[in-house]
């Protein structure tokens, strides 16, 4: 037996342990080894994938600074051990009835029904492992989509801030003042031209010099020019106020842009949008999910679809023997306890009966003594 044990490599024994088998029993059946080596390899593969998934999930979301890599590695190891132990438990706890006389309904209920929750858990684990790996695979496309989403959010934020600010009314006022300035400038220019023509005698009354008419036209041109200057001053004030409001809007939008973070939720939303907008991304993402789910449920499916082998029969016999032995020990212990309890109860009743007879004898003797004293 020692020589046979020595022919099994350390890695093979490790795969057996990953599959949750009983090594001493499996060594007796060489034809069953390959099946459980494959199951152990699948369990080990899901653990390794879980490590990379957990490492990247923490490294890209929560971890930062000089301790980012050690923290991410620590979480990846914990996550990998958790998934590995769950898979190992799922595989080792799944048993099939080995009695050929078992009806198919009972065989189905004892095999498939207990496996359904395990399959559901395996699918959930596979999906959980796949998402960080998808984020790493589509990293460039996700970064581009996330930037587009941030720009759209910034644009929407700016539109909302502008709508709630007085910028619209200031723009409308500036436009109105510009139109009024244009009209006033035209009017002032006409009045100034009339004054010059009146003063040099080329127009108006054709009287050369600073006449009363020229004086009146000069006053009208000066007033018109003052009106233009007043309108221009109001326009400059409105533009100054607009520049202040616009600067406040820019600060609010910049604060909003800086508050946006490239977190896990943002990347997942970008991945969802990419999958919805691109059939190629959807197919690749679905393929990754199906691949990891397939790897995750492979150990369970192998246990379900593989034919019953000699190792399964032996293991079922060992389990039944251990169960029967435990039940016999329990029944024997219960019978011994019941016997001791019955013996103790009988002894207690006999002791009570003896005490009652003795007390009755003492009472009779006392009554007889008292009767003789009374008669004497």
Q: Is the pTM of this model over 0.75?
A: no
Q: How far is CA 274 from CA 56, 104, 149, 283, 304, in A?
A: 20, 47, 11, 11, 37
- Pair 298, 347 in one domain: no
Domain identity same for 242 and 327: no
**Residue 68 sits in the same domain as residue 79:** yes
Q: Which position has the higher pLDDT, 339 or 67?
A: 67
Kindly state whether residue 272 falls inside one of the protein's structural domains.
no
20 in Cβ contact with 91 (< 8 Å)? yes
HSE value, Cβ hemisphere, 13 Å, CA-based, for 20: 18
**Region 344-355 average pLDDT:** 67
Give me the pLDDT at residue 77, please. 92
Domain closes at, from 270, 291, 308? 308
Residue 144 lies in a domain: no
Statement: residue 89 has pLDDT above 80: yes
Q: Are 269 and 138 in contact (CB under 8 A)?
A: no
Residues 41-51 pLDDT 10s: 888 888 888 88
Average pLDDT over residues 22-51: 84
Do 18 and 87 share a domain, yes or no?
A: yes
* Average pLDDT score over residue span 148-152: 83
Tell me whether residue 269 is in a domain.
Answer: no
- pLDDT in the model for residue 3: 45
Q: Using an 8 Å Cβ cutoff, are 130 and 288 in contact?
A: yes
Is the pLDDT at 363 greater than 80, yes or no? no
Share of the chain above pLDDT 70, in %: 74
Contact at 8 Å (CB) between 58 and 274? Answer: no
**Residue 5 has what pLDDT?**
46
Is residue 270 included in any domain, yes or no?
no
Asked if residue 146 has pLDDT above 70, the reply is yes
163-222: per-residue pLDDT in tens? 877 777 877 888 888 888 888 888 878 777 776 776 666 666 566 666 666 677 777 778
- Asked whether 263 and 7 are in contact (CB, 8 A), the reply is no
299 and 318 both lie in a single domain: no
Task: Judge if 115 and 48 occupy the same domain.
Answer: yes
Whether residue 161 is found in the same domain as residue 183: yes
How confident is the prediction for the chain on average, in pLDDT?
76
- Are 59 and 185 in the same domain? no
* Whole-number Cα distances in Å, 316 to 96, 104, 321, 328, 361: 8, 18, 8, 18, 67
Is 273 a domain residue? Answer: no
Residues 299 and 315 in one domain: no
Listed residues 231, 262, 293: the one ending a domain:
262
Query: Are 249 and 314 contained in the same domain?
Result: no
Q: What is the pLDDT of residues 152-171, one digit of tens each?
A: 888 888 888 778 777 778 77
Average pLDDT over residues 28-41: 84
Query: Given this model, what pLDDT does residue 140 score?
Result: 85
What is the mean predicted confidence (pLDDT) over 21-28? 83
Q: Is 271 within a domain?
A: no
103 located within any domain: yes
Query: Could you tell me if residue 267 is inside a domain?
Result: no
pLDDT above 50 (res 17): yes
In terms of domains, do 15 and 133 share one?
A: yes
Is residue 4's pLDDT more than 60?
Answer: no
DSSP 300-348: HHHHHHSPP-HHHHHHHHHHHHHHHHHHHHHHHHHHHHHHHHHHHHHHH
State how far the Cα of 298 lies from the Cα of 304, in Å rounded to an integer: 10
Q: Is the pLDDT of residue 113 over 50?
A: yes
| Burial label, 136 (beta-carbon count in 10 A; 0-12, 13-18, 19+) | middle
What are the tens digits of pLDDT across the range 247-267? 888 888 888 777 777 677 788
Whether residue 125 sits in one domain with residue 14: yes
Residues with Cβ within 8 Å of residue 300, at least 6 apart in sequence: 90, 91, 94, 115, 118, 119, 122
For the chain, what is the domain count?
A: 3
Q: Which of 4-13, 43-52, 349-358 has the highest mean pLDDT?
A: 43-52
Q: pLDDT confidence of 278, banded at 50, 70, 90?
A: confident
- Indicate the pLDDT class of residue 282, thresholds 50, 70 and 90: confident
Res 358 pLDDT > 70? no
Q: Over range 10-21, report the average pLDDT.
A: 88
Q: Which domain holds residue 376?
A: 310-376
First to last CA, the chain: 99
């Amino acid at each position: 037996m020692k020589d046979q044990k020595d022919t099994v490599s350390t890695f093979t024994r490790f795969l057996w342990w990953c599959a949750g088998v009983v090594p001493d029993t499996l060594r007796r059946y060489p034809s069953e080894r390959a099946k459980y080596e494959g199951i152990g390899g699948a369990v080990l593969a899901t653990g390794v994938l879980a490590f990379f998934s957990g490492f990247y999930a923490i490294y890209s979301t929560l971890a930062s600074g000089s301790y980012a890599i050690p923290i991410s590695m620590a979480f990846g190891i914990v996550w990998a051990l958790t998934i590995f132990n769950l898979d190992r438990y799922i595989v080792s706890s799944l048993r099939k009835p080995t009695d050929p006389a078992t009806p198919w309904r009972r065989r189905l209920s004892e095999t498939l029904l207990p496996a359904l929750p395990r399959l559901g858990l395996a699918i959930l684990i596979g999906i959980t492992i796949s998402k960080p790996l998808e984020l790493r695979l589509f990293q460039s496309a996700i970064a581009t989509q996330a930037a587009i989403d941030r720009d759209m959010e910034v644009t929407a934020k700016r539109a909302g801030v502008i709508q709630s600010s007085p910028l619209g009314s200031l723009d409308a006022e500036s436009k109105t003042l510009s139109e009024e300035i244009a009209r006033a400038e035209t009017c002032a220019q006409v009045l100034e031209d009339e004054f010059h023509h009146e003063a040099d005698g080329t127009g108006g009354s054709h009287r050369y010099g600073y006449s009363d008419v020229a004086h009146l036209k000069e006053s009208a041109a000066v007033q018109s020019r003052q009106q233009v200057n007043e309108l221009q001053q109001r326009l400059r004030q409105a533009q100054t106020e607009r520049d202040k409001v616009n600067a406040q809007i820019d600060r609010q939008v910049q604060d909003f842009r800086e508050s946006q973070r490239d977190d896990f939720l943002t990347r997942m939303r970008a991945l969802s949008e990419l999958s919805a907008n691109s059939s190629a991304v959807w197919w690749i993402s679905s393929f990754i999910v199906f691949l990891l789910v397939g790897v995750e449920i492979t150990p369970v499916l192998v246990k379900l679809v593989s034919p019953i082998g000699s190792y399964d029969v032996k293991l079922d016999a060992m389990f039944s023997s251990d169960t029967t032995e435990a039940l016999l020990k329990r029944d024997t212990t219960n019978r011994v306890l019941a016997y001791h309890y019955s013996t103790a109860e009988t002894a207690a009743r006999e002791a009570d009966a003896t005490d009652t007879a003795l007390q009755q004898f003492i009472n009779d003797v006392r009554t007889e003594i008292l009767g003789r004293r009374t008669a004497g």
